[in-house]
Amino acid sequence: MESVLRRGGAPSCPAPSSHILRRSFSAESAPERKVAVLGAAGGIGQPLALLMKLNPLVSRLALYDIAGTPGVAADVSHINTRAEVKGYMAEEQLGQALEGSDVVIIPAGVPRKPGMTRDDLFNINAGIVKSLCTAIAKYCPNALVNMISNPVNSTVPIAAEVFKKAGTYDEKKLFGVTTLDVVRAKTFYAGKANVPVAEVDVPVVGGHAGITILPLFSQATPATNALSEDGIKALTKRTQDGGTEVVEAKAGKGSATLSMAYAGAIFADACLKGLNEIPDIVECSFVQSSITELPFFASKVRLGKNGVEEVLGLGTLSDYEKEGLENLKPELKASIEKGIKFAKEN
């Protein structure tokens, strides 16, 4: 039986040798940080576990799933990097996995299959997220929570409601991970604009499904004149449909796991740097927000020792982007309300 915890990110450089790790990332220079991955035996969870093991900012790595985690933990634990790895399996060990965590990453849930929308995942994944967040509220209420489980537009509001009910909600510490949209937008833009992808930045705002994903190519750097209006529309659509592109290419064998794990590790790394008070850490994320009339919205966020230090505005939008923004609001609003309704009724 397929693990129900299945939705499963990364240092920007290869793992340094253990000698360099000891020299550069001693306990003095990098604080002790525990990261928990919930859904660590899944398609996203396994590569995400690997990438977090390679991150020199992680001192303890807790891997949790309902099945299969001891093997993943044993495998990853043999890598000669700083993080001490422990595997936890089944609900009775969830508390131990979470205790003392600074960052909790949730790739748990079922993946998309061909023909499924992110919304089709809702009922299964909503229940999983609700139970995991109930445990987070009990065992590590101050952790930064990185929500990967889809549909993010609904699972983040569910988490918020669970934390509110438990009396532990801190809007600065709950993040919907939309980094994969940014990763895709950067990659696709670099290919069309013929610029080095490592130098590209593209903000992506809105939500994390279909038309709610709004890449702001007018703000992309380095700027280019190589893209026509039709070219920008095509890039926007490809970014919005990136997940479907992978689902179809895998022909029923899965969804975006490797690229999602990479994106998840990138965002977790940013959270850890923020906690360690490294200045000017800015990433896009789906958070509680007042920059539109919607209660949650993805935009650039400055990260710091408390999580969200500042939710940054949208900047100047092109006419096409303004239209896209207005078009996405009703769908995003409905997804947010669906999550809140689920949490209150269950």
Q: What is the 3-state secondary structure (H, E, C) of 128-187?
A: HHHHHHHHHHHHCCCCEEEECCCCHHHHHHHHHHHHHHHCCCCHHHEEECCHHHHHHHHH
33 is in an annotated binding site: no
Question: DSSP code of 221?
Answer: B
For residues 177 and 118, give the distance between their C-alpha atoms in angstroms, rounded to a whole number: 15
Question: What is the C-alpha to C-alpha distance for residues 265 and 235, in angstroms, rounded to an integer?
Answer: 24
41 annotated as belonging to a binding site for a ligand: yes
Q: What angle do CA 165, 168, 169 make, to 5 degrees?
A: 80
- 231 marked among binding-site residues: no
The Cα 223–Cα 198 span in angstroms is 14
Q: Which residues pair with 88 in a beta bridge?
A: 64
Q: Is 264 annotated as a binding residue?
A: no
CA–CA gap between residue 122 and residue 116 (Å, rounded): 11
Residue 8 counted as an annotated binding residue? no
306 is in an annotated binding site: no
Residue 260 is assigned to a ligand binding site: yes
Q: CA–CA separation, 204 vs 216, rounded Å?
A: 6
The C-alpha torsion from 248 through 253 and 259 to 265, rounded to 10°, is 150
44 is in an annotated binding site: yes
User: Rounded distance, CA 46 to CA 38, Å?
Assistant: 11
Q: List, in order, residues 6 or more apart from 122 with CB less than 8 Å away.
A: 151, 154, 338, 342
Is 65 labeled as ligand-binding?
yes
Q: What are phi and psi of 18, to 5 degrees?
A: -60, -30
Question: Is 208 noted as a catalytic residue in this protein?
Answer: yes
Residue 172 vs residues 128, 146, 286, 300: alpha-carbon distances, Å: 22, 11, 11, 13
Q: Is 118 annotated to bind ligand? A: yes
Output the six-digit token pair for 308. Answer: 């969200």
184 is in an annotated binding site: yes
- 150 labelled ligand-binding: yes
Is 270 labelled a binding residue? no
Count, residues in the chain: 346
302 is in an annotated binding site: no
* Catalytic pick among 7, 208, 238, 300: 208
Residue stretches of the annotated binding site? 39-45, 65, 112, 118, 125, 148-150, 184, 260
Residue stretches of the annotated binding site for NAD(+)? 39-45, 65, 125, 148-150, 260
- Known catalytic residues are 208
Residue stretches of the annotated binding site for substrate? 112, 118, 150, 184
